[in-house]
Every structure is written in C-alpha cells, then in structure tokens.
Amino acid sequence: MKSWPSPSLPSPVSGPSVSVTAHDTAQDAVVGVGPESGNARLYVCGITPYDATHMGHAFTYVTFDLLNRAWRDAGLTVSYTQNVTDVDDPLLERAAATGVDWAQLATEQTDLFRADMTALRVLPPDTYVGVVEAIPEVEALVARLSEAGYIYQVEDEHPDWYFATTRAEGFGEVSSYDRAQMVEVFAERGGDPDRPGKRDPLDCLVWRLERDGEPAWDSALGRGRPGWHVECTAIALDTLGASFDVQGGGSDLVFPHHEMCAAEAVAATGEPFAKAYVHVAMVGLDGEKMSKSKGNLVLVSQLREQGVDPMAIRLVLLSHHHLTEWSWTSEDLEANVARLAAWRAAVSGGTSVDAEETVRAVRAAVADDLHADRALEALDAWAADSPQANTDAPGARDTVRALVDGLLGVAL
Ligand SMILES: [Zn+2]
C-alpha cells in the first residue's frame, strides 16, 4: 500500500543532539526511548477507515510524528510502521448501514486520512500496511502460536479460532489492570468475554470464520478474516521484528489491544513485543468527550474546508502535552492562529535576537517526554523579543525557521 506524500524531512540544526525520553505505560515512568545510535523502530496503530480523521486521531499521529522527528534530530534513522484496519466489524457495520461497498468505504476514508496527514505535515510511515494485504503474515503468526499450543477453536456453529491470552508470560504488564478491570474493559472495547466455549473470558479472537455477506479469505484455518489484535502483532513482527523501540497509540488502546498484541508476540517469539508503550490522551470538545455517538467530532478535513491553516491546527495539537486530556475550543484555535502569525512575522521581520538559547530550549523540551508545549513557549518568547532587538541576528531567523520546520513540523 502507498504511503502519503512526504513534506520536507527534518533539517539538521547545528548543536549537540539530545537523547529522547517518553512516558512508558508499562513502567509508568519516563524512560529513554530508542537506541543511542543507529535505527529506532516505531509501530503506531492506524485508523479503522470508516469515518474522517477527528482531532483525537490527529493528536495521536502528530505526537508520534514528533517522536519520529525527535529521533531524527538526535541523529538516528527511523523505521516506522503503521497499519490500517481496512477490514473489521465497525467498518463492515458502517458500510452495511449506509449501503456502500466496504472496500470502497475503506479506500475513500484512508485517502482522506492521508490527505489530512499531509496537510498537517506528518511524515509518512516507511511501511503503511492494510490488513487485507497482511493475511499471509497473520496466517503465519497463528501457525506459530498454534505450534506453541496457544490456539484453539470454540465448539459451536462458528468454530472461530482463539488465542489463550492469559497463558502468555507477562500478560497484564502493559496495562497493570487487575482481572476484573480487564474483563470489564474487554467487553467495552470490542472483546467478547461472555462468548460460550472460550476457555478463558479474556482469550481473544485471532481468526473469524466466514459469515454470510462478510468478506473472507482462504487460509489453513478455514475461510475467514483476522481478529483485531493479531493483525497488528503480525504486521509489527514482520516489518520491525521483536523488541522494537516503541509501540504507540491512543490511550484507549492500552487494554485490550496493546496488552493482547504483547501477549501474542511473547507467546510466538519468546521476546518482548516492544521496549516501551507510549499512549496519547483523548481529546474532547468544549469539555465533553469527543465521540461519534455524541456527534461532536471536530474533523481535520472540515476545518481545512473552512480555510483554517493546517499549521495552526498543528500548533494547537503541539500546545498540549500527550499525557494530558484536553478539549478542542475555538479560543485555543484563535490563539494558535495568532501564534503562527507572530512567528511568521518574526522569521521574516527586520530584526531578530540570537536564537542559540532558544534552539537549545526547544530541543531539550521535545526530547524530554515530547514536551512540545514548552518548546512553543520558548519560541513565543523569541518571537516576542525579536522586533525590539537592539542587534540584528539575521542568521537566527533562518535557524528558527529550520528548527520549527524540522523538529516541530510547522512550516513558517
Ligand atoms: Zn494496533
């Protein structure tokens, strides 16, 4: 599958590189992420393409774009894989409800997502894979899990295949949930703890056998389609290998999704899935949780249609730290439209102050658990001081422009 077009890659800014840290959910601590040198490996769970990109999605992908850029700024190369869940229950339900072909819906929404990401100047992943393209990898992973004795079929009219989740070593270490909490959240987020015939309520579906009217693929497990978690496990292991640096996604993926993926990977490889699990907080609207059922989604594409500068949207996202829940407001957008104008005036104005201290502060803030919010404050101060500067430092304007472009992904 094609990726989306790449905006300019981070431009190197002179100065010592800083090693990158981020909050790891499994350890509940800020830890170093990525190797000291060489190649960093990142997997971020992609969209289920049945609805347009809302601000919660944008916050997640801009956050990992910041990590990608911070690693590059620290002198590393990055292998970045993202999936697209282009066949799954919510997509098929939406297609059936609206009378459109599921594959066409997936293609249209994936295209819209990529257009949104391009507008927000999110660097494309190196590998962007749909589930429908990864069926052989899923099959191979299930075969491996089966050989290791982790796979069984339920005994009913639809003998689907399940993974014995709780038998995997380290199960529970990503979320640190207790069992009661796991069962409750599993039911809320696409799981089926009450399905008869399962050996444990927390066992997860890896292969759903064909039902009337649903897409299905031939496989050694019978005609059917992959379960949700196993698709990401298979794609990540196939493209990045085990023990990759960061598994990322929205905070609603901590359990069951990332816990189940980690369990499958450990059972199949004997190695940890990822070294760190980084999660991005949810975004609300005017103090309420943003959700389809409430109909209060703020869509990136809608704002673009209204003529909002995508760079101002990106600045709103960067002004919030990824661990803190926040709400989209028009005041916040206006403030960042003004911020963008102030920065643009400062980099093209008559005078500017030296930027060495600002560059250091911005890089340190981003490398410290992706605190773009603090980086923005340092740049605000530079932009505010520049028009009153006694001595002009014209090189500083180019340096700041390159820094903001390369590290923060904002074109001035
Ligand atoms: Zn995933």
CA nearest 53: which of 292, 359, 299? Answer: 299
What beta strand segments (E) does 237-382 contain?
244-250, 274-280, 283-285, 288-289, 326-328
Tell me how far the alpha carbon of residue 228 lies from the centroid of ligand 1, in angstroms.
8
* Domains of the chain in sequence order: 21-284 (3.40.50.620)
* pLDDT tens-place string over residues 279-315: 999 999 877 877 777 778 899 999 999 999 999 999 9
Question: Per the structure block, which two tokens stand in for 284?
Answer: 């609300």
What beta strand segments (E) does 34-110 contain?
39-44, 77-84
Contact criterion met (CB below 8 Å) for 406 and 12 = yes
Tell me how far the alpha carbon of residue 308 lies from the centroid of ligand 1, in angstroms.
31
Q: How far apart are CA 80 and CA 44, in angstroms?
A: 8
Which run of H or of E encompasses 224?
strand 224-226
Cut 0.85: pTM above it: yes
Q: How far apart are CA 280 and CA 325, in angstroms?
A: 9
Q: How far apart are CA 369 and CA 67, in angstroms?
A: 9
CA 230 to chain centre: 17
Query: DSSP class of residue 386?
Result: G
Tell me how far the alpha carbon of residue 129 lies from the centroid of ligand 1, in angstroms.
11
* pLDDT tens-place string over residues 242-290: 999 999 999 999 999 999 999 999 999 999 999 999 999 999 987 787 7
* pLDDT tens-place string over residues 35-67: 999 999 999 999 988 887 889 999 999 999 999
Q: How far apart are CA 340 and CA 344, in angstroms?
A: 6
Tell me how far the alpha carbon of residue 277 lies from the centroid of ligand 1, in angstroms.
12
Q: How far apart are CA 384 and CA 388, in angstroms?
A: 8
Contact criterion met (CB below 8 Å) for 262 and 173 = yes
Tell me how far the alpha carbon of residue 45 lies from the centroid of ligand 1, in angstroms.
4
Tell me how far the alpha carbon of residue 162 lies from the centroid of ligand 1, in angstroms.
17
Tell me how far the alpha carbon of residue 232 lies from the centroid of ligand 1, in angstroms.
5
